[in-house]
A and B are shown apart, each in its own frame.
Chain A
Amino acid sequence: MKILLFGMSHRSAPVEVRERYAVEDHSAALEKLVALHEVDEAVLISTCNRVEVVATTRQPDAAILSLFRFFHRELGGDTPIPGGGELDDHVYEYRDRDAVKHIFRVASAIDSMVVGEPQILGQVKDAYRKALESGSCGPVLSRLFQRAFATAKRVKNETRIAHRPVSVARVAVDLARQIFEDLGQKTALMIGAGDMIEASLIALRREGLGHLRVVNRSPERAEALAARFGVSAHGLSELDGLLEESDIVLSCIGGDRAILTRERVAAVLRGRRSRPLFLIDLGVPRNVEPEVHGLDQAFLYDMDDLQEVAMKNEEQRRRESLAGERIIVEEEERFAGWLVALRAVPTIKHLRARAEHVRFSEIERFAQRLDLSPDQREGVELLTRAIVNKLLHPPLARLGAQTDREEGLAVLEEARALFALDDPGAPGAEIDRELQGDAIRRVDLSDWSQDDES
């Protein structure tokens, strides 16, 4: 059995392509996936940044073709790619170790557009839950996803991948927290009534900011916005008084000249008894003179500053992701060890069954010719069983000892080859038919013993 991952993400496809293949009805899509002859188990992950199918299969090449057709027909509606090109240009596939590693990286948010973002883990968990509910997720993928969640937890706890904010809004709130002790006690003044101000209102309210006020040239627009959020609205004539009472000022208002000059802010600061003032200028052209930042208790950040801090933080997250990669390699090896164990048990059972089958058929053959009495027959039984047990003990003990080690894969392969367990013409191969029902026995791990190329 092979593990496959097939799909597209922000790294391989632009948003207009990704949105075409995004999945709305998970259960219907999963039903179609497991109905594919080549797919045994499947989990479907669909977020705004990726659409991926993780599957187990016994026919990897055929399964890849089926998954390609599934994307093209079922998800893409058999329509041309937006903006031209072929689906081939936007999809990727990973097999076995690479697939496991990829899913671990996705769950740990190392493969995310914003490294370390917290949403992806919830989205992967959601995809796994839906697969469990629809019955498309079997024991191998269950184990794989459980390990992916454990890996994500380790990466989050053992690295600083998610510790610095990377969105402009979060950076602004983080900066406010470095200036003020308790945001719940602070007052924010929003200058303007446009979309940016509305988005900022939502963000600041979510962060638990105590008091919010809106001031605008046109009081009607300010009132309309304020009414929607249940905050107070004011005209620009009240600006100086409001500035004195506010701690955070967020400005995004039109105009040729800066509305907050150095002199104006300096006068406001004098009335604030040295309380700091945090100004965020989102206006273009700028609403606040840059010289305001030179005032002792004024901290002015414009859009570029916030973006620069966000970029630095993101760079830091990327550096931290290297530590995350090491954790992923460790976890991937543990998962490989589990698969070895999965393979070892049926191999041991298979070898015993083969030996027993050979022993039994040889006794039957010779018993008829030698005309053995019941006592003699029992003696031969005991003798042959002892010989078989003594011969099998060292290899079986060695196989059992390998189950927790990745190198055990090679030993298992050697054992299967030496005892011709996969050879239908070998003596005792008839017993294989009885073991066909054991799906786990058929796990083919040949690729797992190869060196990691990525």
Chain B
Amino acid sequence: MIELQQTAAALYLASGIAALVGLTLPSRQASRYAVVGLGFGAVAQGLAFATLHRLDTVPSLRSLSLFGSFAVWVGVIFLLLLVRRIRLTGLLAAAGPVAFLVVFLASMGLENPADSGGRVEGIVPHAHVLLSSAGLSLLGGASLAGLFFLIQHRRLKRKTTSSRLPSLEALDRVNRIALAVGFALLTLGVLTGPPWLYSVSGEFWSGSEHEMWTMMAWGIYAGLTAARFVGGQGPRQAAASAVAGFAFLFFAVVGVGLLR
């Protein structure tokens, strides 16, 4: 399992390098290799998750390593689905190294016996972790697209030389789709949290820092999603909001846990 995760990490790194080469030269062939590398990485990670359940000692569902690794897997699959329709070489150049870093660190964490907390049974705990990590991943994708949008927008406004980033329209489209799907998954993740807590402690709300921050992050994203799809928010404001919103969400879900 660890070897498969590390193979996936290596493939993601190779994909990121190929995307960077494709962007710099620019070379369509290198960009194609980047997509293929990302695809093989996703397959390797999928096989890693498939073998997870056969292990005698599986990592805890609360394991940050597992959470991060799964989030990357969902994000990569999402990107692969989009890349068939939208020219996103610039995004791959950033997504590849990020995926490598998270999966590589996750594979080290999964190797650590202290991280193994025994098997957690039941659909609800699994649904909570998987939906939350998938939501976090897609909202991360929205923020990455938002960041690239802001860079590209600034370049066009400053009238500097031409760039090889994806077009504003493509980046805005990725941002919109990732926000819509990511918020829906995050909401489902949030909704499955209280039943899990109830099954463990007999109460739906414990008032922990994690719950407080997560609810605040969800509230912020609810506002951002409404502004984007109902309030007529412009693409640039939406891009900036996606970056800021993800920074808050990341802190709420991951940062607070690490600070404890």
Q: Chain A residues in contact with chain B, CB under 8 A?
A: 160, 163-165, 171, 174-175, 177-181, 273-274, 276, 293, 296-297, 299, 301, 305, 308-309, 312-313, 316
Contacts and interface: CB of A to CB of B under 8 A. Distances in A.
A178 B159 contact: no
A385 to B, nearest CB: 59
Given A181-B173, A296-B236, A297-B235, A175 B162 contact: yes
A276 B25 contact: no
The 6 closest A-B pairs by CB, nearest first: A181-B169, A312-B161, A181-B170, A274-B234, A174-B162, A181-B167
A178 B156 contact: yes
23 contacts: A160-B24, A160-B25, A171-B162, A175-B156, A177-B167, A178-B152, A178-B156, A178-B162, A178-B168, A179-B168, A179-B169, A180-B169, A181-B170, A273-B232, A274-B235, A293-B157, A297-B234, A297-B236, A305-B159, A309-B159, A309-B160, A309-B162, A313-B161
A170 to B, nearest CB: 10
Contacts of A160: 24-25
Contacts of B162: 164-165, 171, 174-175, 178, 309, 313
A181 B234 contact: no
Nearest to B165: A178
Q: Of residues B86, B167, B232, which shows the largest number of chain A Cβ atoms within 10 Å of its Cβ?
A: B167
User: Which interface class (under 10, 10 to 19, 20 to 34, 35 or more) fits B?
Assistant: 20 to 34
Contacts of A299: 156-157
Contacts of B24: 160
A125 to B, nearest CB: 24
Contacts of A179: 156, 167-169
B87 interface: yes
Nearest to A159: B25
Given A175-B162, A309-B159, 8 more contacts: A171-B162, A179-B167, A274-B232, A274-B235, A276-B168, A276-B169, A309-B162, A313-B161
B117 interface: no
A270 to B, nearest CB: 9
Nearest to B170: A181
A174 B155 CA distance: 13
Contacts, number: 60
Contacts of B163: 178
B257 interface: no
B167 A178 contact: yes
Interface in B162-212: 162-163, 165, 167-170, 173
A427 B234 CA distance: 93
B60 to A, nearest CB: 43
A165 B163 CA distance: 11
A41 to B, nearest CB: 37
Contacts of B118: none
A174 B160 CA distance: 12
Nearest to B168: A179
B26 interface: yes
A197 B96 CA distance: 44
A177 B156 CA distance: 11
Contact of A301 (B86, B155, B159, B232): B159
B235 A180 contact: no
Nearest to A178: B167
Contacts of A180: 167-169
A335 B144 CA distance: 50
Contact of A163 (B26, B86, B173): B26
A181 B171 CA distance: 9
Contacts of A293: 157
Interface string B24-37: 11100000000000
A22 to B, nearest CB: 34
Contacts of A274: 232, 234-235
B230 to A, nearest CB: 13
A309 B169 CA distance: 21
Contacts of B173: 181
Contacts of A171: 162
A82 B47 CA distance: 77
Q: Of residues B25, B155, B159, B232, which shows the largest number of chain A Cβ atoms within 10 Å of its Cβ?
A: B159
A394 B217 CA distance: 85
Interface string B74-108: 00000000000011000000000000000000000
Interface string B138-150: 0000000000000
Contacts of B152: 178
A180 B157 CA distance: 15
A405 B86 CA distance: 50
Nearest to A315: B161
B157 to A, nearest CB: 7
Q: Of residues A164, A276, A308, which shows the largest number of chain B Cβ atoms within 10 Å of its Cβ?
A: A276
A68 to B, nearest CB: 44
Contact of B159 (A163, A164, A276, A308): A308
Q: Of residues B87, B156, B163, B173, which shows the largest number of chain A Cβ atoms within 10 Å of its Cβ?
A: B156
A163 B161 CA distance: 12
Contacts of A308: 159
Contacts of B160: 309, 312
B87 A181 contact: yes
Contacts of A178: 152, 155-156, 162-163, 165, 167-168
